[in-house]
Chain A
Amino acid sequence: MSESLKSGIEQFKDNIFGLKDSLTKSYLRAGKPTSDMSRAALMVNNFFLHIQGAKTHINTLRPAYTLGMGLIAFYLFIITCVSGALVMIFYNPSIEHAYSTVKDINYVVFAGRLMRNVHKWSGEGMIVFVLLHMARVLYTNSYKRGREFNWLIGIVLLVLTFVLNLTGYMLPWDQLSYWALVIVSNIIQSPKELTDILGLTKFVDIGGIQKEFFLAGTVPGAATLNRVYFLHIMLLPIIITTFIGVHFWRIRKDGGLTVPDNFNSSCNVDCGNLVVLPKKTGGIFTTNKTYGLMTMSKGVTPAVDRDVENTVLSWPNLAIAEAAVFVLCLAAVIVYSIFVDAPLKEAANALIPENPAKAPWYFLGLQEMVSYSAFMGSIVIPMLSVLGLALIPYLDRDQSDVGIWFSGSAGKKVAIKTLIVGSVCLIGMLAFVVNFGWFRNWWPSIAQIWIILINPANLWLLFVCAWSIWIIKSTGSTRMGAIALFTMFLVSYLILTYVGTELRGPNWEFFWSKAQWPIH
């Protein structure tokens, strides 16, 4: 009896001292990642890591290939969510208190201002990096061989990122929020411009219905804030998280990131610096054996006819790369947030319009086009742009040169040529409009339908299409057309956004800088 009691105590003692090992083991299942086997198991057994393969292609780990853009966009989303939750603790979504609680976050919450800045800048950073990620995918020809649908999901994520940012912009209920709300609701209302001309408004006012749905009324008020808040903190995050999940899952199912067909680690990269190469002896990955994880994934089965050498274990190679990018990303956001404050203007006042009343900067390219024609600029052109981007993988079915930047030197030339031609023509057209005006300035009584049909934004869209088709024709390659079209999209977005943000002042007039704005 006493013998067994003693051994029970001893067992208990052993268990206490053995806690560290037993916890680790229960957590890691296959034990510490000391062998190639347990490293592979670590990836497969972990809920968060298993969406990635146990092995990763070396090409995926080349910083010059992915630039880490998609990963950074994702990390910014994580940072936005966490900082958003912290800001949310103190924020009150009512028009009486929204503004003063944001002020309190700035003034008395410990590190509140920093947290708000982090939330703001990481959120807006998402827009930048989602676009850059998109550019990377396009220019490396990575939307092919089963990845077409994931490109579409990416487009959905881009739109969601815009909407998420926009709804957040409304919440402080300051002058910026209020007048952006007014502008955006007017943009939403713009089908009215067309229905007015067609005489349909009195039967079915689509624009008006959309506007009322968005504002929960006819003017921005308490119900609007409530609605926007719900969208911002609940509905949109749920949707975007779901889509991010699907996006990642599909990367895996579509066969991972793209790799050039002729990839050879020894000739393409100096990979010794980047990754830990598999042990040539011991473990399960011997030199004599080719090992493939049998998955249900479609696409090209990894390494059937090539050497296994081009893949390395995800743990630690991928894990450390991802950790490094995350910490870099967090550090960058925090440093930026320490030195640049998120804007906060006077409390919302319906009686004092901001002049110019501007949408958030990422929509100012649209607002610039809205200044030509509300209907075209806010509905037709954005829709056609999104549609055009979405259809790229389906209109360019050329399956060669996947995973190569610009698909080689020809693509690089097309991109540069498009960049130059696009910038020059767009700036030229804007300069013409700024100096000479448009139909309304020449013939003040002209019917609005002519301006809807013929305005700078439409002409530009036509030019972009014509240019892309000409490139297809002259190079004989749809891939070159895709590069031309996307480069034109980037050029237009950048230049129009810059013009709308920096060069447009009161009454949407042109100014070289804000310092020249007339003093009210």
Chain B
Amino acid sequence: MQSRFYASLLLISALILLAFVSYAGLRELNPEWKTYQKEYKRLFFNNAVTPDMKKKAAEYTVGIRQIYIKDLNRVDRCDNCHVGVENPLMAKEKVPYRQHSGTYLKDHPVTKFGCTICHLGQGNATNKKEAHAEGHDTYWDYPILPLKHIQSSCTQCHNMDFLSKHGADVIIEGEKLFNEKGCKGCHKLSGNGGVLGKALDGVGSQPIHYFPMRYVEGERTQPSWLKQHFEDPRKVVPESVMKVKLTPEEADKLTTYILSIRTYDPPKIYRRINEEPIVAKDGHALYNMYCVACHEDGKLSAFDENLKGTIPAIENPAFLMNADDRFIEMVVKEGRKGTPMTSWQLSSAGLTDEEIKKIVSYVALQRGHESSKPVSVNLKTGDKDAGKEIFNVRCALCHGEKGQGGLGLNLANQIIKKADDQYLFKTIRDGRATTPMPPFGSTGLGLTDQQIVNVISYIKAF
């Protein structure tokens, strides 16, 4: 009766529709997690020893489940595949059926904490690829945390004191490295630290797009970026001036620590951070925290290729002999404009006067007892033009035509203007032992005291 063409079109289309709707329905009825739950049920039954347990295993129903934690604003569906996390009978099975390691779940019941608060990943998802969210095609900001960095999650609720007593050795050592390698010399965190690098607040929970992945080898993830950055800063960020280089083991530990610096705080009821007694750090600790990244042990003055300048040896007795505490304190407080030296006072890099005093006294420990020969000329009588001639011949090679620095230090800055004339005079006259700066005085390269005074008046006019 009906037209043949349209009747056959209708029939064929209807068959295709039926076939694919059935296919979609079957696919929908047999999701990935169901396979795992069925296998779990089998293993559960096999491993059960007592009749009671057998009964329990037999009663296990396969079905979708989720952990909703209102206070954490999370829905975790990880247990659809990781079914056995709370079942002691599954202790020896392989992942994802295996029981959670250690006794963590006893203190952190799954119903109260869920999974992603520690492990990250996409709790909403119900398939492995998207739940673990590894790889850029899953479009999730927080891929699952590699287990070697898992301790970075502990600090959300626990303080370091607690963690050190409970075996969280990786993050403890990570923090130690963070303090001793002088990270805060360049990176601000919680209001204090230098400004050469990026601030670290919340870096552990910054989405993957914050990290330029171009030069990262292997997996392009936050942990690999951080690790490779610590091993060789300029491999990951070519323009980086970062000096520190760590061994792979150290880099892993520091990565764990850095990943723990997150913006997201769990609600108060979850946190076990008792107000940690603020232990005042001594001068040595502060030096390690803020100064060591550039000055290292302060004994050697060396030109740094990346910073494009010479880092002065601040523990050099020859320097300390001429520079008094007041001068060093002024340099620390105000920094050296035109050089990477940060101004460390409270209003910029965030150190208190007390802390700066401690650092200065620590540095001054190396000062010897002998004092330099007193200055015997009138320092007010400098002739700038005469000084210029001498400077261009004797000084410009290292310090630059305009005092901008090179092999030698940058002289064209505020601190030199403010520096005590006596200090400058002695430095030029006596030189700086163990650095390329030779003594220019009459016993050295033969400048007269008056010539030195002339040079000083020229330097001060930069």
Which residues of A does B touch, CB under 8 Å?
61, 63, 100, 103-104, 107-108, 110-111, 114, 174-175, 273-276, 316-317, 320-321, 323-325, 327-328, 330-331, 334-335, 338, 344-347, 349, 352, 518-520
Contacts and interface: CB of A to CB of B under 8 A. Distances in A.
Interface string B131-174: 00000000111000000000000000000000000000000000
Contacts of A349: 141, 207
Given A107-B77, A320-B6, A331-B13, A352 B209 contact: yes
Contact of B16 (A63, A104, A331, A352): A331
B58 interface: no
Contacts of B64: 108
A110 B139 CA distance: 22
Contacts of B77: 107-108
Interface stretch (B106-114, B210-218, B403-411, B433-441): B210-218
A334 B126 contact: no
Interface string B1-43: 1111111011001101100110111011000000000000000
Interface of B: 1-7, 9-10, 13-14, 16-17, 20-21, 23-25, 27-28, 64, 66, 75, 77, 124-127, 130, 139-141, 207, 209-210, 212-214, 220
30 contacts: A61-B3, A100-B124, A104-B124, A107-B125, A174-B139, A274-B3, A274-B5, A274-B6, A275-B3, A317-B3, A320-B3, A321-B6, A324-B9, A327-B14, A328-B13, A331-B13, A334-B17, A335-B16, A338-B27, A346-B139, A346-B140, A346-B209, A349-B141, A352-B207, A352-B209, A352-B210, A519-B213, A519-B220, A520-B213, A520-B214
A328 B14 CA distance: 7
A328 B126 CA distance: 32
Q: Is the interface of A mostly helix, strand, loop or mixed?
A: helix
Nearest to A271: B3
A180 to B, nearest CB: 15
A328 B16 CA distance: 8
Contact of B212 (A324, A334, A520): A520
A346 B125 contact: no
Contact of B24 (A111, A330, A520): A111
Which 5 A-B pairs have CB atoms at the shortest separation, nearest pair first? Answer: A324-B10, A331-B17, A328-B13, A327-B13, A324-B9
Contacts of A107: 77, 124-127, 130
A114 B24 contact: yes
Contacts of B25: 111
A317 B6 CA distance: 8
Nearest to A312: B3
A334 B210 contact: no
Contacts of A110: 28
A17 B357 CA distance: 105
A111 B30 CA distance: 11
Given A274-B6, A327-B14, A331-B20, A344 B209 contact: no
Contact of A321 (B3, B23, B126, B220): B3
Nearest to A337: B24
A114 B125 CA distance: 16
B14 A273 contact: no
B2 A320 contact: yes
B139 A330 contact: no
Contacts of A323: 6, 10
Contacts of B28: 110-111, 114
A273 B3 CA distance: 6
B235 to A, nearest CB: 14
B236 to A, nearest CB: 12
Given A104-B124, A273-B4, A324-B9, 7 more contacts: A100-B75, A107-B127, A111-B24, A317-B6, A327-B17, A346-B209, A520-B212
A175 B28 CA distance: 28
A320 B20 CA distance: 22
Contact of A273 (B5, B23, B207): B5
A520 B209 contact: yes
A395 B130 CA distance: 56
A346 B207 contact: yes
B302 to A, nearest CB: 35
A276 B13 contact: no
Contacts of A328: 9, 13
Contacts of B5: 63, 273-274
B387 to A, nearest CB: 45
Contacts of B14: 327, 331
A135 to B, nearest CB: 22
Contacts of B125: 103, 107
B199 to A, nearest CB: 14
B10 A103 contact: no
B6 A344 contact: no
B17 A330 contact: yes
A108 B17 CA distance: 24
A349 B14 CA distance: 44
A320 B14 CA distance: 12
Contacts of B75: 100
Nearest to A63: B5
Nearest to A334: B20
A175 B77 CA distance: 24
A63 to B, nearest CB: 7
A46 B141 CA distance: 54
**Which of A63, A104, A331 neighbours the largest number of chain B CB atoms within 10 Å of its CB?**
A331
A108 B20 contact: no
A324 B13 contact: yes
A105 B289 CA distance: 49
A316 B4 CA distance: 12
**Which of B3, B20, B139, B140 neighbours the largest number of chain A CB atoms within 10 Å of its CB?**
B3
Nearest to A519: B214
A63 B2 CA distance: 16
Given A104-B124, A320-B7, A338-B23, A276 B1 contact: yes
Contacts of B2: 276, 316-317, 320
A269 B186 CA distance: 83
A181 to B, nearest CB: 18
Given A108-B126, A110-B28, A334-B24, A346 B141 contact: yes
A8 B363 CA distance: 116
A72 to B, nearest CB: 12
Contacts of A520: 209, 212-214
Contacts of A103: 124-125
A329 B99 CA distance: 49
Contacts of A352: 207, 209-210
Contacts of A316: 1-2
B11 to A, nearest CB: 8
Nearest to B131: A107
B10 A320 contact: yes
A346 B210 CA distance: 13
A274 to B, nearest CB: 5
Contacts of A276: 1-3
A327 B124 contact: no
A63 B5 CA distance: 10
Contacts of B3: 61, 273-276, 317, 320-321
B36 to A, nearest CB: 15
Nearest to A68: B9
Contacts of A331: 13-14, 16-17, 20
Given A103-B124, A111-B24, A345 B10 contact: no
A334 B9 contact: no
A335 B6 contact: no
A338 B24 contact: yes
Contacts of B6: 61, 274, 317, 320-321, 323-324
Nearest to A321: B6
Nearest to B15: A331
Nearest to B10: A324
**Which of B20, B213, B214, B220 neighbours the largest number of chain A CB atoms within 10 Å of its CB?**
B20
A514 B24 CA distance: 31
Contacts of A175: 139
A518 B214 contact: yes
A92 B164 CA distance: 45
